[in-house]
Structure 1
């Protein structure tokens, strides 16, 4: 079945939910595809706008399938936000917004992405938020979109954005300070899938791998280019881990840990802990915000590798 047909069916099923949603909320509504983008939007919007995330903590955007509740949420939105670069497998957020007739902003617009693969199999790496400098691009794009729809409160949105951008600069400096505690030869970051390329490039992990991720699974666990673990990729990763002398390898909150745990057994390397990757933590957890997830990831990485 075509994705648009699925959307139509979901919309019909969800129709009864829409009136109650609209009646319950009088403020403008922004619907973001991921938890990180929703957090960026909240930092700019404050209490003037309701911000909702389609993805829940721990969900994988690459393989996510929209639900009737998601359709209702988008139909009640004033503005939709996506990561883009095909993070949302098969571009499900763009499809939801288009079919609902809602404006869509791609938060990575204007960014120069890293490229994975070679030749016809090359793709743009969508996990750009793992560099706080890139996160600033997300925030600026989101701020412009919000101001474009509510120019009367421009000064307020700009003030919030400036404060948060300053916090991102502090976060970046703090990460560099923490990473400096890890001896250069031990800055080897092995995770389940290729989510940490921007982090590795920014903070100089995996020198022997061109400062890119070492991961058994590609950037997507779906059917897109680069997805899935092949026997050849697994063999190369096992060899890379053994050759690198990695002190530890890491599982991720949004990916089944079975494969990386098996690789840990095969290589004799311990599991260093669980990192937030494609989504943030649950409400009340230390990683429930972007700055929180980055902070907790760095503390865990430094503790395991230094």
Structure 2
């Protein structure tokens, strides 16, 4: 079974605009997957699948959500909790097993191996993050992508932009929120803040200058890394992020 992705490494699903070749790719597919919870903007992936009459599975189905917009929606960045990533794996396993029942046992065995790797990853992350004093666990990034990570590993998140980068691209960063972010950085005594691979670094670098702190590195947020990079896989992306956060905050 061949796996293809609509988005290239580094592209932002919040603001992605469908290309003509995307519909052609989906029309040749057997199964489609999206993240769900409006990570894909106005559900562009689901629309592509439905227009091509292809089955689509939302990987977040059954995950434990964080509420946003006063409870009107779910934060879509659920994969930053390995426990939620395990839900993604089970949803993918079940979808491919239903499509190809002849190899059901193989898919389940492979999925179990990966679930074991996720448990190992979670234990490793906890060990790395526990080495950072609780009062220093303040994570300032380009937008609200890391709330699940913060919930899981007892961090406080502070960002100038909401859950969708569309608010930055559309000029939705209010002066008040920007001032609040700078104030939080200063009041918490934050040492480093972080840019993201799929978001322009300009604003966060300006905030770092205003707050008198350094940019501690770049985090993978709404996209994994290109082939050959440390973040080319989910586990590699998570490990690289943790190492960057640990180096910036210790």
**TM-score, normalised with respect to structure 1:** 0.79
Alignment of 1:130-169 (within 5 A): 130-169=80-119
- Quote the Cα distance in structure 2 between the aligned partners of 1:86 and 1:118: 16
Q: In the TM superposition, what is the alpha-carbon distance from 1:221 to its structure 2 partner?
A: 2.3
- Aligned: 1:299 with 2:246: no
Which residue, out of 99, 115, 135, partners 1:185?
A: 135
- Quote the Cα distance in structure 2 between the aligned partners of 1:72 and 1:123: 31
- Quote the Cα distance in structure 2 between the aligned partners of 1:98 and 1:81: 12
Query: Structure 2: where are the runs of 5+ without partners?
Result: none
CA RMSD of aligned residues (A): 1.5
Which residue, out of 227, 232, 241, partners 2:185?
A: 241
The equivalent residue for 2:122 is 172
Describe the superposition over 1:43-73 as per-residue Cα deviations: whole angstroms up to 9, x where unpaired. Answer: xxxxxx1001111111100000011111111
The equivalent residue for 1:231 is 175
Q: Secondary structure at the match of 1:273?
A: strand
The equivalent residue for 1:97 is 49
- Quote the Cα distance in structure 2 between the aligned partners of 1:65 and 1:153: 35
Q: Secondary structure at the match of 1:53?
A: coil
Q: Secondary structure at the match of 2:57?
A: strand
Alignment of 1:1-306 (within 5 A): 49-118=1-70, 122-206=72-156, 213-222=157-166, 228-306=172-250
Label 1:240 to 1:117 Cα distance change in 2 as closer, same or farther (>3 A): farther
The answer (yes or no) to whether the contact 1:248–1:304 under 8 Å persists in 2 is yes
- Quote the Cα distance in structure 1 between the aligned partners of 2:97 and 2:165: 36
**TM-score, normalised with respect to structure 2:** 0.96
Query: Structure 1: where are the runs of 5+ without partners?
Result: 1-48, 207-212
Q: Which of the two has higher C-alpha Rg?
A: 1
Q: How many matched pairs?
A: 249
The answer (yes or no) to whether the contact 1:74–1:80 under 8 Å persists in 2 is yes
- Quote the Cα distance in structure 2 between the aligned partners of 1:116 and 1:240: 20
Describe the superposition over 1:227-256 as per-residue Cα deviations: whole angstroms up to 9, x where unpaired. Answer: 931122112111111111111000000000
